[in-house]
Amino acid sequence: MIPILDSKRQYAKIGAEVEKAVCEVLRSGSYILGPNVKALESELAKYIGCNYTVALNSGTDALHLALRALDIGKGDEVITTAFTFVATTESIEIVGATPVFCDINPDTFNIDADKIESLITPHTKAIMPVHLYGQPCEMDKIMDIAKRHNLYVIEDCCQAIGAEYKGQKVGTFGDIGCYSFYPTKNLGGMGDGGLITVNSENLKNRIVALRNHGGAIRYHHDEIGVNSRLDEIQAAILRVKLNYIDEWNKSRREHAATYNKLFSECSDIVTPKELHDTYCVYHQYTVKIPNRDNIHKMLQEAGIGAMLYYPIPLHMQKVHAHLGYKMGDLPITEKNTECVISLPMFPELTIEEQKTVASTLIECIEKSKALA
């Protein structure tokens, strides 16, 4: 059995350090918005390269509060992708705004920057690009469109901590960047967590208030906020793990290069492409294959933990049915949804395991061709 992700292997390496950090919090008596959250916020601002970060309860809250902080709500449109996790568009609906779906680039799986402009209306307030699978979007083009049309940009970086576009980390191009520390992410806590990156002090202050019931001063509430504070325990764990993130991302990239080589002879497998001058962090290693559903089943039977991210594009989800999209509206998104499959990818994955994954996948493709 080769799982898509094995968190226990990571814990085996850093468990002692994590346990020490957690015990210190337990003994400290300070469990909410204490010294670890403060330190994590400044360490991550330095790491990502922005003026401020605000630690939150989840990536979903980061997206939601980003929209709130920019006063995006009822009657406003946000241009984004349907080829992502539902939290991206859920946050847009939570604030009462309308997601407008833009098709994707077939090579990068990310929003097709060349198709954004035709979707802009007088109601458009923001563009929400998602750096899917750890691959940066074309931020030059997106920022250029945003500037010309006076739109906000909120980057969904939940899968892309450490990823760079032209030497600059994602989450620092737009007005706000949103990160998740869900346990399976490249920098994952042992529970939920999220973060906002921001350069504007005013926006930072607004998000700090929204995170804690809408008031900057205790028991003075200026607007309706939420409870989205990150726990000290999670912050302490994340501070330990932050020391390893570059090493882990480097391993993921090496594994991606190894997979690419192992698949280079098999013309049925389309391996992921990287944009020029980007640093992808391979949250997922996702290939395109024929007969995907059959082969997915065969891989599962063979003990390979392959997954489909995501099996239904968001414009076809029941939750967004009221938007009125139909099959055929986003042809490239739909086509990719049918043929993508994500293979085991985590820093501790071994070369032997990668060889097994590769040979099993190639075998399954041959078998399914013989059956057809």
Ligand X SMILES: *Cc1c(COP(=O)(O)O)cnc(C)c1O
What residues make contact with ligand X under the rule CB under 6 A?
58-60, 84-85, 87-88, 130, 156, 158-159, 180, 182, 192, 194
Q: By C-beta, is 60 or 249 nearer to ligand X?
A: 60
CB of 358 to ligand X, least distance (A): 25
Q: How far is the CB of 181 from ligand X (least distance, A)?
A: 7
CB of 94 to ligand X, least distance (A): 12
The gap from C-alpha 35 to its chain's centroid, in whole angstroms, comes to 27
Nearest by Cα to 232 from 31, 14, 2: 31
User: 């000290």: which residue's tokens?
Assistant: 232
Closest separation in Å from C-beta 248 to ligand X? 17
Of the two residues 55 and 304, which places its CB atom closer to ligand X in the complex? 55
Q: What is the largest CA-CA distance in the chain?
A: 70
The distance of closest approach from Cβ of residue 280 to ligand X in the complex, given in angstroms and rounded to an integer, is 15
Distance CA 210, CA 223 (A): 8
Residues facing 196 on adjacent strands? 54, 178
- What is the number of other CB atoms lying within 10 angstroms of the CB of residue 32? 12
Shortest CB 177 distance to ligand X, Å: 12
DSSP string, 251-289: HHHHHHHHHHHHTTT-TT-BPPP--TTEE---SSEEEE-
Smallest gap from residue 311 Cβ to ligand X (A): 15
**Residue with Cβ nearer ligand X (58 or 124):** 58
CA distance linking residue 265 with residue 260, whole number of Å: 10
Q: Which is nearer to ligand X, 137 or 298 (CB)?
A: 137
Least distance in Å: CB of 60 to ligand X?
A: 3
Q: In this structure, what is the dihedral angle of CA atoms 74, 77, 82, 85, given to the nearest 10 degrees?
A: -50
Select 57 or 368, whichever has its Cβ closest to ligand X: 57
* Least Cβ distance, residue 193 to ligand X (angstroms): 7
Residue 3 class from Cβ within 10 Å (0-12 exposed, 13-18 middle, 19+ buried)?
middle
**Cβ nearer to ligand X, comparing 34 with 191:** 191
Which residue's Cβ has the minimum distance to ligand X? Answer: 59
H-run or E-run covering 46: helix 35-48
Task: Indicate the residue among 109 and 152 with the shorter CB distance to ligand X.
Answer: 109
CB closer to ligand X out of 154 and 209:
154
The pairing of strands 164-165 and 194-198 is unpaired
Nearer to ligand X, 130 or 187 (CB): 130
User: Which amino acid is residue 160, in one-letter code?
Assistant: A
Q: Helices 292-301 and 351-371: crossing angle, nearest 10°?
A: 130
> Angle 351-371/245-262 helices, nearest 10 degrees?
40
